[in-house]
């Protein structure tokens, strides 16, 4: 096949510069974080377009595709398990609702992206360190100018993501940018300055949303980065980094009114919660604790097959639940669910819920850690493994107080990130 040299070959890796379709796919993938954070509504069509183009390219090049299905079956299950569990669960309960599939089927669009990129020498970390800073900066600008959602009062968010999701995902991307400083060899001062601005912008947006979801990552991720990269850093540099980072957090808590107020409110609401009995208050943290209690009650009543997404509505107004929960809080669990990823999955799908959780979060995290500790893989693979670890940890931590793969925008972005990161890690390893 004759290689067509394109004008963009300076910016596009050699493996994507062999034909115009491959170059187009690479450009679309590079721009994807910018599209998502600037205008989430457009990301759905963008994501599907990339998937269709990958399918097209795979068909055209079917004679030279060497994808190893056996070695990648666990990665592929990440994109299949959710709709598959819904099907099995509805079959066992013989209770069919098409609406449960609508958002979850978007996982499947990531499969051709993953397969296509696995055939390339793809380095997603290199893409992210250039596109994420621009994405986070433009996210703040576009939200301020065009898509500011004022229904949440002073809490900063756009029209397509509520403050919880918006704050969590921008903080997650900020932590990924932090990780690139530990592993990237890019010495370009302009790119590094842009990364610093993007990192700070992600934290700033998260604070401005007023959402506490995932704030623990500000402590967890720096410690993990030090642990994983301690062999590459002198002890004094490790201590200096931790001291500077902790000093920054202390200053943020002390002098930022939003952060100090939200943290003090959380402490007081936990302290004043009626743990010994009585009516639970309708407050942010108080409701979350009550959500967990309600979820636990529903889980014990149907631990095997669960209730489906809406099957427990008739059980919410029982006297035993009304004895500690306001009616408003009970009804919120029907629409806002239980503000915990694993608990929500168990209530919905019974014993199959933890299977979704394990395959989507725990198994790829464990395997990525194994790759990072393996001596026989190259540096690019290890770098992308670290980014995968950071992404998964931020989502697991955020999932302790909310659902991170619940609705279409978050499902599509999660699937896209996982397809690109898994493809960037050697296919024989994960």
Complete DSSP assignment for 187-212: --HHHHHHHHHHHHHHHHHHHHHT--
Residue 10 is predicted with a pLDDT of 61
Q: For residues 5 and 7, what is the distance between their CA atoms, to the nearest angstrom?
A: 7
Burial of 369 (0-12, 13-18, 19+ CB in 10 A): middle
pLDDT, mean over the chain: 87
> For residue 45, how many other CB atoms are within 10 A of its CB?
10
Judged against a pLDDT cut of 80, whether residue 203 lies above it is answered with yes
d(CA 87, CA 316): 25
Of 130 and 428, more confident? 130
Q: Give me the residue label for tokens 């720096």.
A: 222
d(CA 84, CA 111): 14
Spatial separation of the C-alpha atoms in residues 222 and 427, rounded to whole Å: 28
Residue 242 has pLDDT above 80, yes or no: no
For residues 289 and 284, give the distance between their C-alpha atoms in angstroms, rounded to a whole number. 9
Question: Under a CB-based contact definition with an 8 Å cutoff, are residues 312 and 348 in contact?
Answer: no
Banded pLDDT at 6 (limits 50, 70, 90): very low
Q: Which has more pLDDT, 144 or 248?
A: 144
Instruction: Tell me what pLDDT residue 34 has.
Output: 95
Query: Which residues touch 262 (CB under 8 Å, ≥6 apart)?
Result: 210, 212
What pLDDT is stored for residue 37 in this prediction? Answer: 94
Lowest-pLDDT range of 226-235, 304-313, 340-349, 376-385: 226-235
- Which two structure tokens, joined as six digits, stand for 89? 């669960």
- How far is it, in rounded angstroms, from Cα 330 to Cα 87? 27
- The pLDDT assigned to 278 comes to 85
Q: Which residue has the tokens 């958002």?
A: 103
Greatest distance between any 2 Cα atoms in the chain:
76
pLDDT of residue 1: 43
pLDDT confidence bin for 162, thresholds 50/70/90: confident
| pLDDT above 50: residue 94 | yes
Nearest to 200 by CA among 241, 149, 140, 148: 140
> Which residue, among 411, 396, 398, 397, has the nearest Cα to 363 in the 3D structure?
396
Between 379-398 and 408-424, two packed helices, what is the crossing angle to 10 degrees?
A: 160
Convert the pLDDT of each residue in 271-310 to its tens digit.
Answer: 889 888 888 888 888 888 999 999 999 999 999 999 988 8
Of all residues in the chain, what percent carry a pLDDT higher than 90? 47
Inform me whether the pLDDT recorded for 3 exceeds 80.
no
């Amino acid at each position: 096949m004759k290689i067509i040299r394109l004008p963009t070959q300076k910016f596009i890796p050699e493996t994507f510069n062999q034909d115009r379709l491959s170059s187009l796919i690479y450009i679309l993938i590079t721009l994807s974080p910018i599209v998502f954070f600037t205008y989430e509504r457009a990301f759905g069509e963008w994501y599907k377009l990339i998937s269709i183009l990958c399918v097209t390219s795979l068909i055209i090049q079917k004679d030279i595709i060497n994808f190893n299905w056996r070695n990648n079956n666990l990665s592929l299950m990440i994109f299949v398990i959710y709709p598959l569990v819904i099907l099995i669960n509805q079959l066992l309960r013989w209770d069919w609702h098409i609406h449960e599939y609508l958002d979850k089927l978007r996982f499947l669009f990531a499969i051709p992206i993953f397969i296509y990129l696995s055939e390339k020498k793809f380095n997603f970390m290199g893409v992210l360190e250039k596109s994420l800073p621009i994405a986070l900066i433009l996210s703040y600008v576009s939200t301020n100018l065009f898509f500011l959602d004022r229904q949440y009062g002073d809490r900063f968010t756009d029209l397509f993501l509520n403050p919880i999701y918006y704050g969590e995902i921008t903080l997650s991307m900020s932590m990924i940018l932090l990780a690139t400083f530990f592993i990237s060899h890019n010495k370009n001062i302009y790119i590094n300055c842009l990364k610093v601005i993007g990192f700070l912008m992600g934290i700033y947006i998260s604070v401005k949303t007023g959402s506490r979801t995932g704030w623990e990552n500000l402590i967890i991720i720096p410690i993990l980065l030090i642990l994983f990269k301690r062999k590459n850093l002198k002890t004094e540099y490790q201590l200096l980094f931790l001291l500077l980072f902790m000093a920054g957090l202390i200053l943020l808590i002390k002098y930022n009114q939003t952060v100090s107020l939200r943290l003090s409110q959380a402490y007081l609401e936990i302290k004043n919660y009626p743990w010994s009995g009585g009516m639970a208050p309708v407050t942010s943290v108080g409701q979350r604790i009550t959500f967990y209690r309600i979820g636990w009650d529903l889980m014990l009543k149907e631990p095997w097959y669960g209730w489906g997404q809406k099957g427990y509505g008739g059980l919410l107004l029982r006297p035993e639940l009304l004895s500690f929960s306001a009616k408003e809080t009970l009804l919120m669990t029907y629409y806002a669910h239980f503000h915990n990823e694993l608990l929500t999955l168990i209530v919905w799908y019974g014993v199959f819920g933890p299977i979704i959780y394990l395959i989507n979060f725990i198994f790829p995290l464990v395997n990525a850690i194994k790759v990072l500790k393996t001596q026989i893989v190259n540096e690019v693979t290890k770098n992308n493994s670290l980014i995968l670890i950071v992404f998964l940890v931020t989502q697991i931590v955020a999932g302790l107080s909310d659902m991170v793969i619940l609705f279409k925008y978050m499902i599509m972005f999660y699937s896209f990130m996982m397809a690109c990161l898994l493809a960037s890690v050697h296919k024989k390893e994960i």
